[in-house]
C-alpha cells in the first residue's frame, strides 16, 4: 500500500477540513503544502503573491511537492493549483494515493465568498472566475487523480468515510 494520502482539488473543495478529519480517522500525520510554503518563506500566501507574483509562488510550490517525498503515513493537503505542473504530481504520486475532491462552482463560491486569503479570487466577479478556472483546470485535476470524490451536498464525515474506505482497501 502506498503510504501517503494526497488531497487535491479547487480552493474551497474541503481539502483542509477533510484532511484533518481523515488524519484522526486513520491515525496519520497531516501536512498542508500552503502552510509549508508559508513557513519556508515566513510569509502569508497573500503576501507572497503580492510581493513576488504567481510564478515565484509556483516555483516554491514545486520545491515543497518534492519535499513531500520524505513523508510517510501522512495526509498531504495541497494548494488548489498544485496539479498545474506535471512535475509536482510526479513527486506526489511516488508514494501516495491521490484523491480529487470535486465541487461545483456554486458550492465553491459559497464556501470562499467571505474569505480574503485567496489572492486569485480577489476579482470583481469571483463566481465567473471560479467557473473559468474550473473549466481550464478540469483536465489537470482529473489527470492527477487516482480517485475522484464528489463533495456537493455531502457532510465532512460522509466524504471522509468514503475516502477512508477506498484508501484502506487500496
Footprint on this chain of ligand S3P (rule: CB under 6 A): 11, 15, 34, 45, 79-81, 118-120
Cβ-based nearer residue to ligand S3P, 34 or 96: 34
Buried/exposed code over 62-83 (b: 16+ C-beta within 10 A; e: otherwise): eebbeebeebeebbbbbbbbbb
What minimum distance in Å lies between the beta carbon of 11 and ligand S3P? Answer: 4
Cβ-based nearer residue to ligand S3P, 28 or 82: 82
What minimum distance in Å lies between the beta carbon of 30 and ligand S3P? Answer: 13
Cβ-based nearer residue to ligand S3P, 4 or 61: 61
**Which stretches within the chain are classed as H helix?**
15-26, 33-41, 45-52, 54-67, 86-93, 105-112, 126-144, 156-168
Contact 72, 28 (CB under 8 A): no
Cβ-based nearer residue to ligand S3P, 27 or 124: 124
What minimum distance in Å lies between the beta carbon of 9 and ligand S3P? Answer: 7
Amino acid at each position: 500500500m502506498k503510504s501517503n494520502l494526497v488531497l487535491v482539488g479547487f480552493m474551497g473543495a474541503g481539502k483542509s477540513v477533510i484532511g484533518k478529519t481523515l488524519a484522526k480517522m486513520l491515525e496519520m500525520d497531516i501536512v498542508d503544502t500552503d502552510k509549508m510554503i508559508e513557513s519556508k518563506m515566513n510569509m502569508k500566501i497573500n503576501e507572497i503573491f503580492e510581493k513576488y507574483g504567481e510564478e515565484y509562488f509556483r516555483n516554491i510550490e514545486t520545491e515543497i511537492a518534492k519535499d513531500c517525498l520524505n513523508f510517510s503515513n501522512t495526509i498531504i493537503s495541497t494548494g488548489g493549483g498544485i496539479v498545474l505542473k506535471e512535475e509536482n504530481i510526479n513527486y506526489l504520486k511516488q508514494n501516495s494515493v491521490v484523491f480529487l475532491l470535486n465541487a461545483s462552482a456554486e458550492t465553491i463560491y459559497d464556501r470562499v465568498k467571505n474569505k480574503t486569503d485567496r489572492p486569485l479570487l480577489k476579482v470583481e466577479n469571483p463566481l465567473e472566475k471560479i467557473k473559468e478556472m474550473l473549466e481550464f483546470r478540469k483536465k489537470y485535476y482529473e489527470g492527477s487523480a487516482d480517485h475522484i470524490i464528489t463533495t456537493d451536498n455531502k457532510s465532512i464525515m460522509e466524504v471522509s468515510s468514503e475516502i477512508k474506505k477506498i484508501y484502506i482497501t487500496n
